[in-house]
A and B are shown apart, each in its own frame.
Chain A
Amino acid sequence: MPGPNIIATELAGADTAATAVIDAPLGLGKTTRQAAFNFVAGLAILFALWWLGIELLARSSSTAYFASFGPLPALRAMGGMWRSGQIQSAVWSSGWRLATGLLIAIAVGAPIGVLIGRVRIFRELSNAPFQLLRMISPLSWEPIAVIVFIGWDSAIIFLITIAAVWPVIFSTAAGLAKVDPNWFKVARNLGASRWQILTQIIVRAITFDVLTGLRLALGVAWIVLVPAEFFGVTSGLGYSIENARESINYDQLMAMVLVVGAIGYLLDGCIVQLIRRYGWQRHS
């Protein structure tokens, strides 16, 4: 039976790599104290390298204007922007768009993924158009999104959704393909209804893969969010970066870049925790 195998080889790519990305940094140190030390030391090294690089650039007169890109001006600007509420409002409006986009992506993507995993003819027919649509760079939908959706806000949410829905679909399908078909037989023999098979077997079996897909989806949505906010809107993280650039406040620009990285790191960390919590396959 080649069906599920094909999905496994073809879709596992993204899936395995995502799992791999989680696995790789796991050698973090045995104790929490050591892990905390590594965390702080790693970030300190990054900041030191950043400071050093800017310092070297600022020495030469031709690149002296890079001085405002340094870590100290950025941190100072961050304090000012926090007090004036700029950071909070940018995070709030971007967070709302991101969350809505991801929610729609899960609500649409997970059922389609289950359908692909369970219905052979749907899988075979949808494969070509889905692969084509998946590889359309999300931002190329932007002109169409602006026309179809009235507000810029909903256009941005659409862009995030269309970027994030593919990892969710394919991870869900790949997760379902890995489920032992005997489980369904056993469940049916034990008298499970379709609803029970869905809630007791399918949902539980694929939670790990849906979360892995969500992690990939978050990464993609995070990439799309910033350029999507460059145009049209006057709120959010992307707008703040564009705004800081146009007003030549490079310290504020770097402060916003830091905020983008920190929030992304935090969100990614949350999903990694969820994946570990629900990762039953890898402990076998």
Chain B
Amino acid sequence: MIGVAVPAGSLTSLCQRVFGVRRLTCGILGLLAFAALWELGTMLLGLNPATRTFVTFGPIPTFKSVPFLWQTDRIQDAVVASGYRIGMGMLLAVVFGVPIGILMGFSKRFRELSNSGFQFLRMISPLSWMPLAVIMYPDWNQAIIFLIAIAAVWPVIFATAAGLAKVDPNWFKVARNLGANPVHMISLVILPAIAFDVFTGIRLALGVAWIVLVPAELLGVTSGLGYAIRDARDTLSYNHLTVMVLVIGIIGWFLDGICVALITRYSWRHRVAG
């Protein structure tokens, strides 16, 4: 999140660097405060005899079990399995979503006729497709990728269409007058113009995909972050459970940060002076 490229040597760069230090300090302090609250909550659980068995939820048992889970490759395995599914699902969502979004942005007829159907499909909770996905795909892996893709495709579609709708129609005229062919039009006008919105859509899509991933993995498969959470619960190793929850949060944060960096990089409309 801090790693936004700044041109070196300017006054703004200095400001940003000082600000970056402050941000880092605040971030660490904030996380420490969070850990303290977490410890406090666990202590409250420990006061009640009925919930005393759950004190392994606390931050200290959690961090103590990280090396074990890391050395036995459990964290890495779960991350790789889930990462593959998320990556494939997001890829499918972008491959289908961006062209459909461009079509929606360009063709008024398509936009008008697809709107009610798409809005309806969008509001079908992705996990409702689960029974259908399991029947359609023989492999659970594919079913999960399908669920992620169908959850993630809508933000990409609508953000792309919205980005295109905001593009000044004169740009197309100018480009045509200057002799741009369709390839130039797409690569030099359309894509740079909508990149900001597409990445914004991808960021939203990633958030949604991240929500869908865990419940999708709670069923059927024996790998991935969702499975690791269920496994930890079933074996009553609550400290492993909290490690996995933390891993989910950290990876999600990292992926979200990449999206934010991309959005900032391609934002041409939202530069605010100051």
**Which residues of chain B are near A264, meaning CB under 8 Å?**
122-125
Asked if B81 is at the interface (CB within 8 A of a chain A CB), the reply is no
A251 to B131: give the CA distance in the assembly, Å. Answer: 12
The proximity string for B residues 119-139 relative to A, scoring 1 for CB distances below 8 Å and 0 otherwise, is: 111111111111110010000
Partner of A17, one of B155, B270, B274: B155
Partner of A24, one of B29, B31, B161, B207: B161
Partner of A223, one of B54, B211, B241, B251: B211
**Which residues of chain A are near B123, meaning CB under 8 Å?**
219, 222, 260-261, 263-265, 267-268
**Which residues of chain B are near A244, meaning CB under 8 Å?**
131
**Cross-chain contact A125 with B124 (CB below 8 angstroms):** no
A109 to B161: give the CA distance in the assembly, Å. Answer: 30
Asked if B218 is at the interface (CB within 8 A of a chain A CB), the reply is yes
The proximity string for A residues 231-270 relative to B, scoring 1 for CB distances below 8 Å and 0 otherwise, is: 0000001100110110000100100110011111101110
**Cross-chain contact A131 with B1 (CB below 8 angstroms):** yes
**Which residues of chain A are near B215, meaning CB under 8 Å?**
139, 227-228, 230
A27 to B115: give the CA distance in the assembly, Å. Answer: 10
Q: How many residues of A contact B (CB 8 A)?
A: 81
Asked if B117 is at the interface (CB within 8 A of a chain A CB), the reply is yes
Q: How many residues of B contact A (CB 8 A)?
A: 95
A265 to B121: give the CA distance in the assembly, Å. Answer: 9
A223 to B204: give the CA distance in the assembly, Å. Answer: 13
Q: Residue on B with the closest CB to A132?
A: B249
**Cross-chain contact A223 with B115 (CB below 8 angstroms):** no
Shortest distance from the beta carbon of A230 to any chain B beta carbon, whole Å: 7
**Which residues of chain A are near B176, meaning CB under 8 Å?**
none
Shortest distance from the beta carbon of B61 to any chain A beta carbon, whole Å: 14
Of A2-10, A77-85, A190-198, which binds chain B?
Answer: A2-10
Partner of A128, one of B22, B31, B135, B204: B31
Asked if A13 is at the interface (CB within 8 A of a chain B CB), the reply is yes
A241 to B194: give the CA distance in the assembly, Å. Answer: 38
Shortest distance from the beta carbon of A29 to any chain B beta carbon, whole Å: 6
A10 to B261: give the CA distance in the assembly, Å. Answer: 9
Asked if B104 is at the interface (CB within 8 A of a chain A CB), the reply is yes
Chain A interface residues (CB < 8 Å from chain B): 1-2, 5, 8-10, 12-14, 16-17, 20-21, 23-25, 27-29, 38-43, 45-46, 66, 69, 124-129, 131-144, 147-148, 163, 219-220, 222-228, 230, 237-238, 241-242, 244-245, 250, 253, 256-257, 260-265, 267-269
